[in-house]
Amino acid sequence: MTYVVTEACIKCKYTDCVDVCPVDCFREGPNFLVIDPDECIDCTLCVAECPVEAIFSEDDVPVEQQHFTALNAELSKAWKPIIEKKEAPPDADDWAKVTEKLDKLER
């Protein structure tokens, strides 16, 4: 099983999750993070770290977010690993309140 990053992370990218992952399986795009499903060991540690509750077990991804499971698998093959927390974008707190923002995802 893997964990999945969903829509709430887009343009928030606080990266708190990165520091706790024991196997460095987060991958970074321009304004979103994903989890590499081939590397995730299902430890659950990242879930509590995410301030916008963007991370779900693949079995618990809300129905309206289920396309993110395939998106994490796809983008994790194209994006580079991120292994240390970095500063969030200056407008991250504003975007944290926006629920529908898939159209803002940059690849």
Residues that bind ligand SF4 (CB under 6 A): 3, 5, 9, 12-17, 20-21, 23, 25, 33, 35, 40-46, 49-50, 52, 54-55
* Residue from 13, 4, 11, 7 nearest 86 by CA: 13
Minimum separation from the CB atom of position 55 to ligand SF4 (A): 5
Indicate the residue among 49 and 101 with the shorter CB distance to ligand SF4. 49
Minimum separation from the CB atom of position 9 to ligand SF4 (A): 3
Q: How far apart are CA 30 and CA 89, in angstroms?
A: 11
Indicate the residue among 24 and 64 with the shorter CB distance to ligand SF4. 24
Indicate the residue among 64 and 82 with the shorter CB distance to ligand SF4. 82
Look up residue 12 and give its two tokens. Answer: 């928030």
Minimum separation from the CB atom of position 52 to ligand SF4 (A): 5
**What sign results for the dihedral spanned by CA atoms 94, 96, 101, 102?**
positive
* Residue from 72, 98, 88 nearest 12 by CA: 88
Minimum separation from the CB atom of position 29 to ligand SF4 (A): 11
Contact 15, 23 (CB under 8 A): no
